[in-house]
Amino acid sequence: MGSTPTPGTKISMNVKILSIPLVLVIGLIIVFVYFKNKQNLNTEMNKISFVTKDGVTIVGNYYPNKSAKFAGILIHMRPKTKESFDEFARLLQKEGYAILSIDLRGHGESVNSIFGKLDYQKFTEEEEKKSIEDINSASLFLEKEGFSKESQFLIGASIGANLSFQFLSENPNVKAIVLLSPGLNYRGVILENFKKENLGEKIFVVAAQDDDQALLAGRKLKEWYPNILYIEYSSGGHGTNLFNTQPDLKEKIIMWLREKLI
């Protein structure tokens, strides 16, 4: 005759049966919390500020990424502000980069200095050219965050593009730059003044045929550096406006950065 299971045996079997789905539930909760926290880390934005060597307080939006090996500086066009890059900054952050988008002096929140309030609309060309110090200080901020210049890239629009080209010329160890609608001469920031050999492979230039200044500058840069990546749209406007008129542009920039940031 078979033995009848004792009450204790039944309880043990029930516990084992119940423990299987309980373990699965706990595991799913752990996985959910992990990926939720990871997602939150990669959508964070912090307001930061620093002072340039000539006494201007620059305000920026910093989009950190704890797993990032590279960091980018985004430089807006006149008369816009750092917020013009917000959507793209978050996209780059999710792509795996740390991103710093700044208000250039006299724009947005970067209006305080040791000499008083600043207004870009009142700048002379000499005052405008001092904006390169804003980018120098932004680069130093990223260095303090653990990103050497060899791990930095820049994306600039309009005069921000010219300043990015100047910064690369003066810091050729920077990894890459993207120039949205550069000009031969924006407010005294003249491209030819910063022309140097062996920069082409680090440059991506975008211009549109309905933007005369950018078209001339883009073609000139291609003449100087045949190995740059140069995209010329038939239309699309100027600077960061190209993001709205050319929906493929963001993805093209990301794909190029993947190739360069290795």
pLDDT tens figures, 83-135: 999 999 999 999 999 999 999 999 999 999 999 999 999 999 999 999 999 99
Phi-psi domain of 181 (left: phi exceeds 0; alpha: psi -120 through 50; beta: other): left
**Mean pLDDT of all residues in the chain?**
90
- Measured CA distances, 171 to 156, 212, 259 (Å): 16, 29, 20
Residue type, 97: Y
Cα angle for residues 237, 244, 157 (degrees, 5° grid):
55
Write down the domain spans for the chain.
1-41, 45-260
| Alpha carbons 128 and 183: distance in angstroms, whole number | 15
The correct answer on CATH 3.40.50.300 for the domain covering 45-260 is no
What residue type is 250 in one-letter code? K
- Assign 13 a pLDDT band (cuts: 50, 70, 90): low
Beta strands in 96-236 (DSSP E): 98-102, 112-113, 116-117, 152-157, 176-180, 185-186, 189-190, 203-208, 229-233
d(CA 257, CA 259): 5
Q: Where does the pLDDT of residue 230 fall: very low under 50, low under 70, confident under 90, or very high at 90 and above?
A: very high
Question: pTM to 2 decimals?
Answer: 0.84
In the predicted structure, residue 245 carries a pLDDT above the cut 60: yes
Question: pLDDT (tens digit, 9 = 90+) per residue, 19-50?
Answer: 545 545 455 455 454 444 444 445 799 999 99
Q: How sure is the predictor about 57, in pLDDT bands with cuts at 50, 70 and 90?
A: very high
What pLDDT, on a 0 to 100 scale, did the predictor assign at position 43? Answer: 74
Helix H or strand E segment including 259: helix 249-260
| pLDDT surpasses 50 at 206 | yes
Q: Are 52 and 118 in contact (CB under 8 A)?
A: no
At residue 53, what is the residue type?
A: K
Q: How far apart are CA 142 and CA 240, in angstroms?
A: 23
Q: Say which range, 10-14, 98-102, 149-153, 184-188, has the weakest mean pLDDT.
A: 10-14
In whole angstroms, give the CA distance from residue 82 to residue 58.
11
Average pLDDT of 181-185?
Answer: 98
**Res. 261: pLDDT tops 80:** yes
- pLDDT band with cut points at 50, 70 and 90 for residue 12: low
Mean pLDDT for the stretch of residues 204-218: 98
Residue 16: predicted pLDDT:
53
d(CA 135, CA 37): 32
